[in-house]
């Protein structure tokens, strides 16, 4: 009798634990899909803020406001990635692009090593709004930054959903981030100006 009762209790507990495990897995998957959606549209919003500057070439106060919007979108996207890494799954790669790209908006200095030789050279990027308008060199820099994000967004895209691919694994996402959005400032400089 006791053995039968214990067997029933063990069976019931096993079913409850299994169902709870299933529910937690479904919840984790749902959270990851929401994260992918949020990341996809944060990248899209960042792209749109760059597009505004490139297409409209605003001047003066409007340029300053546009640059500020770009910075806000990049910071927002950086927060989405970092929060996912910190609070959801530490395997999600927190791409440094969204942290470093705003530096190009407000000016920066650095050195670049030539991979083919041992030469190093100094570079300086002036703040975009310094003279109140965007010149062709600055437009090219904005296009370079935007294109990194466009390429990442395209790789995240699903024809089935017409937005992000909800079946994108963390490994696939990390490969996209590493391929397009793992750029050091000197690499961005070389891509934009060399």
Q: Domain boundaries in the chain?
A: 33-193
Helices (H), 119-165: 136-156
Give which of 153, 155, 126, 152 is closest to 141, Cα–Cα: 126
Give the pTM: 0.83
Per-residue confidence (pLDDT) for residue 16, from 0 to 100: 65
| pLDDT beyond 90 at 32 | yes
Whether the CB-CB separation of 98 and 81 falls below 8 Å is answered with yes
Per-residue burial over 177-189, b = 16 or more CB atoms within 10 Å of its CB, e = otherwise = beebbebebeebb
Sign of CA pseudo-dihedral 179, 182, 188, 192: positive
Residue 120 in 3-state DSSP? strand
pLDDT band at residue 134, thresholds of 50, 70 and 90?
Answer: very high
Q: Say which DSSP state 158 is in.
A: E
Give which of 97, 77, 76, 109 is closest to 145, Cα–Cα: 97
Per-residue confidence (pLDDT) for residue 167, from 0 to 100: 92
Contacts of 122 (CB under 8 A, 6+ apart): 109, 110, 111
| pLDDT tens-place string over residues 34-62 | 999 999 999 999 999 999 999 999 999 99
Tell me how far apart the alpha carbons of residues 26 and 45 are, in angstroms, rounded to a whole number: 28
């Amino acid at each position: 009798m006791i053995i039968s009762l214990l067997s029933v209790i063990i069976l019931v507990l096993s079913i409850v634990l299994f169902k709870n495990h299933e529910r937690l897995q479904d919840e984790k998957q749902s959270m990851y899909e929401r994260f992918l959606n949020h990341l996809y549209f944060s990248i899209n919003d960042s792209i749109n803020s760059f597009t505004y500057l490139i297409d409209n070439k605003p001047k003066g106060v409007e340029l300053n406001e546009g640059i500020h919007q770009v910075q806000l979108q990049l910071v927002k996207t950086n927060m989405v990635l970092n929060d996912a890494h910190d609070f959801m799954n530490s395997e999600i790669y927190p791409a440094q692009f969204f942290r470093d790209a705003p530096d190009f908006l407000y000016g920066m200095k650095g050195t670049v090593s030539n991979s083919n030789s041992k030469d190093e050279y100094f570079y300086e990027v002036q703040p975009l709004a310094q003279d109140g308008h965007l010149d062709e060199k600055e437009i090219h820099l904005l296009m370079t930054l935007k294109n990194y994000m466009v390429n990442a967004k395209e790789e995240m895209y699903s024809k089935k959903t017409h937005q992000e691919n909800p079946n994108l694994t963390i490994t696939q996402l990390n490969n996209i981030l590493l391929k397009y959005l793992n750029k050091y400032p000197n690499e961005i400089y070389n891509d934009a100006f060399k």
